């Protein structure tokens, strides 16, 4: 019994030290970082639709002269379809349709949370204090080349469980430097949302910090300043539902109409 307790305590210390080493590497990498380019294979599976889509993508971070970060997230799906391009500029989120030259604009209360949930989940781990508040990391397995980290969301008291979109999944980081991915940086990220109804996987092909060829700054031009682009306006909120007919519930076609 004593031996087992000592083993568990020693193992816990090793895991804690490994996590601290990983966090330390992430913090150190950001100190001298002015730009970041992550190239990845993308896979999205939806349980209800029984559909899996694949593509290739790029996530970029660019630090401005004022110290603020801008971000771009681009995914080109393997099957014919629109390319997805999202931007974070000055705390605003832009969803761009490159073929139609139109865009949607959001101003989320928490841009980093939006970035994490809808663009690239790794961003939640870049801030140690924020990560400690939102997710619980644990070491599932340690191999020669990889460390497998489980990522479990911490329940937020203000968030109803019915609308839970928190990240839960797996992060696989490198144990040693490689030409493509540096030590302690993610090689694979897999996470699910909506209680497993949607699973997204990132297989990182290349992780470049301050790349010599730089970042294409044209990618970060405000869509409102691009020639020929137009904004798509959202309907005013809240939408007014139609009045229910006397004595019965409205039909589907009636529900499609607004006052």
Q: How many whole angstroms separate alpha carbon 150 and alpha carbon 127?
A: 17
- Which of 170, 169, 166 has its CA nearest to residue 194? 166
- Domain locations in the chain as residue ranges: 32-232
Mean pLDDT, the chain cut into blocks of 10 residues (259 residues total): 41 73 84 89 85 90 85 85 82 87 86 73 71 79 89 61 57 91 90 77 92 82 90 62 54 48
Please give the model's pTM, rounded to 2 decimal places: 0.76
φ, ψ dihedrals at 185, nearest 5°: -95, 150
Q: How far is CA 96 from CA 27, 64, 76, in A?
A: 31, 21, 13
- Please state whether beta strands 230-231 and 102-106 pair in parallel, antiparallel, or not at all (unpaired): parallel
pLDDT of residue 142: 85
Third-level CATH fold of 32-232: outer membrane lipoprotein receptor (LolB), chain A (2.50.20)
pLDDT of residue 32: 80
Q: Mapping DSSP to helix (H, G, I), strand (E, B) and coil, where does residue 111 land? A: helix
């Amino acid at each position: 019994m004593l031996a087992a307790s000592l083993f568990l305590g020693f193992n816990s210390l090793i895991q804690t030290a490994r996590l601290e080493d990983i966090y330390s590497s992430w913090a150190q990498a950001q100190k001298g970082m002015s730009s970041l380019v992550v190239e990845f294979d993308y896979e999205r599976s939806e349980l209800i639709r029984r559909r899996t889509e694949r593509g290739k993508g790029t996530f970029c971070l660019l630090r401005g002269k004022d110290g603020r970060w801008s971000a771009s997230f681009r995914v080109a799906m393997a099957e014919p379809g629109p390319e997805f391009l999202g931007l974070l500029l000055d705390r605003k989120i832009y969803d761009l349709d490159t073929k139609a030259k139109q865009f949607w604009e959001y101003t989320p209360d928490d841009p980093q949370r939006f970035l994490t949930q809808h663009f690239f989940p790794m961003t939640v781990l870049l801030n140690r204090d924020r990560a400690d508040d939102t997710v619980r990391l644990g070491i599932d397995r340690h191999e020669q080349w990889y460390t497998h980290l489980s990522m479990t969301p911490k329940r937020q008291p203000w968030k109803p469980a019915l609308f839970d979109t928190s990240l839960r999944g797996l992060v696989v980081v490198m144990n040693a430097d490689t030409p493509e991915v540096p030590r302690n940086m993610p090689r694979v990220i897999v996470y699910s949302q909506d209680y497993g109804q949607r699973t997204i996987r990132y297989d990182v092909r290349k992780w470049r910090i301050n790349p010599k060829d730089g970042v294409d700054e044209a990618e970060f031009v405000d869509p409102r300043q691009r020639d020929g682009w137009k904004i798509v306006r959202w309907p005013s909120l809240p939408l007014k539902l139609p009045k229910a007919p006397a004595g019965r519930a409205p039909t589907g076609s009636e529900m499609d109409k607004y006052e």
